[in-house]
A and B are shown apart, each in its own frame.
Chain A
Amino acid sequence: MGKKVSIENLLNDQNTDFTMVQILDENGEVVNPDLMPDLSDEQLVELMKDMVWSRILHERSTALNRQGRLGFYAPTAGQEASQLGSIAAIEKEDVLLPGYRDVPQLIKHGLPLHQAFLWSRGHAAGNIYPESLQALPPQIIIGAQYVQAAGVALGLKMRGKQTVAVTYTGDGGSSQGDFYEGINYAGAYNAPAIFFIQNNGWAISTPRELQSKAKTLAQKAVAAGIPGIQVDGMDILAVYAVTKKAREYAVSGNGPVLIETICYRFGPHTLSGDDPTRYQPEGVQDEWQKKDPLIRFRKFLENKGLWSKEKEDEVIEATKEEIKEAIKLADQEPKQKVSDFLKNMFETPTRDIQEQIERFEAKENK
């Protein structure tokens, strides 16, 4: 049973209450009705559709990776509430700075699925973002997205925009220097940024406890003098509600917020040869399976008569179809040319680069 809390009370820079915010328990029962976000039945159903979509995307991405039809892939199963719940509370005009596991948010923010697949394969076309897609490609250097988010947020503030910069890292990432610098800079400039720590318990094989003696990761916000909130990252309603309020707080000129979502990844760190059975204690997976965000939200919606197996199957089929089409589109992308890489180094090629462009074009046109 989640403790009675008020998100408004947590959202102030004197906050030292890091009680985990929860709305739905594992059985899909509402334990904190006061925190219930103002969502229509349609919006509630959308959240479920998003999570089912993401779970299927995970399953198909894993399979496609095994078949060699995708490259780098960092599993997302288990983090649907944390990823889809937060992005649902973010506006299209907000700027997203994702980490390498945050591809679902990027797609929901507007990245076409076939481009996400191209990114996975290692193709430049995956990172061609129009102005209207307010995002950067997934960041590989853990922590870099945090300091950059502080800069984006300051830019938004200076431009007088009513938007926020949103960024994600993991529990391991909260040990990086750039993590602290990012939240501290955003705090010092009172810049509108929302920093997420998706605490899934493990940074590859290193358990969360080995990252820090701090009892919560949300409390690291205290070092920057900004609000920190811990939320049940397996509860999409709680993640949505907290993100929504944090966004309001930030766009109203109050400065940044740090949000820790307690979640779990079902499966390995990446599909590049990692095997969690080597390092995670037996039973951990099973324990978390019971907390699956889809199970509890499905129950919640079914109790309200808003969800059924038929509806879920429809989403599953539509997603599989969407993935098939996206893979086909990705397959059609022309092969990359080194001469194009060279042309994208500078606005005007330097003499050395011009020489190399000519050399590679001669080869490519043979």
Chain B
Amino acid sequence: MAQKTMIQAITDALAHELERDPNVLIFGEDVGKNGGVFRATQDLQDKFGVDRVFNTPLAESGIGGLAIGLALEGYRPVPEIQFLGFIFEVMDSVVAQAARTRYRMSGTRTMPITFRAPFGGGVHTPELHSDNLEGLLAQSPGIKVVIPSNPYDAKGLMIASIRDNDPVIFLEHMKLYRSFREEVPDEEYIVPLGKASVPVEGQDVSIITYGAMVRESIKVAEKLAKEGISVEVVDLRTVSPLDLDTILASVQKTGRVVVVQEAQRQAGIGAMVMSEIAERAVLHLEAPIGRVAAPDTIFPFGQAEHDWLPNANDIEEKVREIYNF
């Protein structure tokens, strides 16, 4: 075991899979010799060769097409989109092509592709680098959308994603890349897709969240515990499909729930979680379902991030409101 950052855990997972399966290919803009703009693919080209880890021309749509074509030839592509804000260039390949191939050809062709993309606020990026666009992808049938919140999960989820025989979007929150270290086993292991975790157990209020908001929520749970308010935190880990069993079990236990996302209120997947709870567990609810999300504006100019992004204070306020309803 070693202490690793989330980005090291991701690199670790990629190395395991390159080693294990000769069909795994990693490609994208500057992922080769350069090791990626965040060093996620550091040293992988040196170790596995230019035929396994290679740069592409600067064209996201071409990267998507390349992944689809290589998958048809039996490869297991792990392409990178440098920042999730650039996904619009490749939406057709992801949601209109790769996502529908198994369905379109009744399983006679499949697309075992893992699209990696960094996203997320709090690190003062230029425009269209940090946008939380998971909602767009989660609404597309045929793909799974994974968002780890810590190094351990990132490694296990990445290995699971690469081994999945259907397309997966793996979203890596930039603020979580190096903000903390955690024990991560050196050997390979899997964190199953579509399964949430419960990093903090509690009895009074459930916070259902994902990505960078998990750490913020844990802070709130720890603080409120001192006042005797027992908060449970559910980390979705996969935002499509949702782990309804874990969500519902938590809601049925606490009867009060706050859904937390970094995305704008009209975006993300918070509304989906709320509607599932309303549809399946309304009789267990002691209060309306609370929601914490960003304002419905375009992602903020860098200097305004602090005022715009949801944080622990917003979550604490909402949890108190629902607790005291």
Contact = CB atoms under 8 A, between A and B. Distances in A.
Interface of A: 95, 124-125, 127-131, 136-137, 141, 144, 146-156, 158-159, 165, 177-178, 181-182, 184-185, 188, 340-341, 344-347, 350-353
B108 A129 contact: yes
B288 interface: no
B170 to A, nearest CB: 16
A331 B269 CA distance: 43
Nearest to A185: B62
Given A137-B104, A141-B97, A147-B61, A129 B109 contact: yes
A182 B62 contact: yes
6 contacts: A95-B72, A150-B66, A154-B70, A178-B62, A181-B65, A184-B57
A151 B110 contact: no
B65 A155 contact: no
Contact of A155 (B75, B107, B242): B75
Given A165-B69, A344-B102, A345-B103, A181 B241 contact: no
Interface in B151-209: 164-166, 194
Interface in B51-105: 51, 56-57, 59, 61-62, 64-75, 92-93, 96-97, 102-105
A347 B106 CA distance: 11
Contacts of A352: 241-242, 244
B32 interface: no
Contacts of B211: none
A136 B97 CA distance: 11
Given A344-B103, A350-B194, A154 B108 contact: no
Contact of B97 (A144, A184, A345): A144
A136 B98 CA distance: 12
Closest 9 CB pairs of A and B: A151-B69, A147-B65, A155-B73, A181-B62, A152-B69, A350-B241, A151-B66, A185-B62, A181-B59
A177 B68 contact: no
A150 B59 CA distance: 13
A208 to B, nearest CB: 24
A131 B109 CA distance: 9
B105 A149 contact: no
Contacts, number: 134
B307 interface: no
Contact of B59 (A144, A185, A346): A185
Interface of B: 51, 56-57, 59, 61-62, 64-75, 92-93, 96-97, 102-110, 141-142, 144, 164-166, 194, 241-245
Given A150-B66, A184-B59, A124 B194 contact: no
Contacts of B72: 95, 136, 148, 151-152, 155
Most buried by B among A95, A151, A153: A151
Given A182-B65, A184-B59, 10 more contacts: A127-B105, A147-B64, A151-B71, A177-B59, A188-B56, A341-B103, A344-B107, A346-B142, A351-B243, A352-B241
A151 B241 contact: no
Most buried by A among B106, B194, B243: B106
B105 A129 contact: yes
Nearest to B90: A147
A177 B61 contact: yes
A30 B322 CA distance: 86
B106 A147 contact: no
Nearest to B107: A344
A11 B90 CA distance: 32
Given A148-B97, A181-B59, A347 B110 contact: yes
A127 B107 CA distance: 10
A147 B66 contact: yes
Contacts of B70: 151-152, 154-155, 158
Nearest to B141: A345
Contacts of B108: 127-131
A347 B57 contact: no
Nearest to A355: B244
Contact of B69 (A137, A149, A350): A149
Contacts of A155: 69-70, 72-75
A297 to B, nearest CB: 34
A125 B108 CA distance: 11
Contacts of A165: 69
A127 B106 contact: yes
Contacts of A130: 108
B105 A137 contact: yes
A345 B92 CA distance: 18
Nearest to B276: A352
A360 B74 CA distance: 33
A347 B165 contact: yes
Given A344-B106, A351-B194, A150 B73 contact: no
A128 B59 contact: no
B166 A347 contact: yes
Given A144-B92, A155-B74, A178 B69 contact: no
A148 B68 contact: yes
Contacts of B97: 141, 144, 148
A163 to B, nearest CB: 10
Contacts of A125: 106
A220 to B, nearest CB: 16
A60 B115 CA distance: 44
A158 B73 contact: yes
A331 to B, nearest CB: 19
A152 B73 contact: yes
A146 B96 CA distance: 15
A148 B57 contact: no
Most buried by A among B65, B74, B102, B243: B65
A351 B244 contact: yes
A165 B65 CA distance: 13
A146 B245 CA distance: 42
Nearest to A352: B241
A144 B57 CA distance: 17
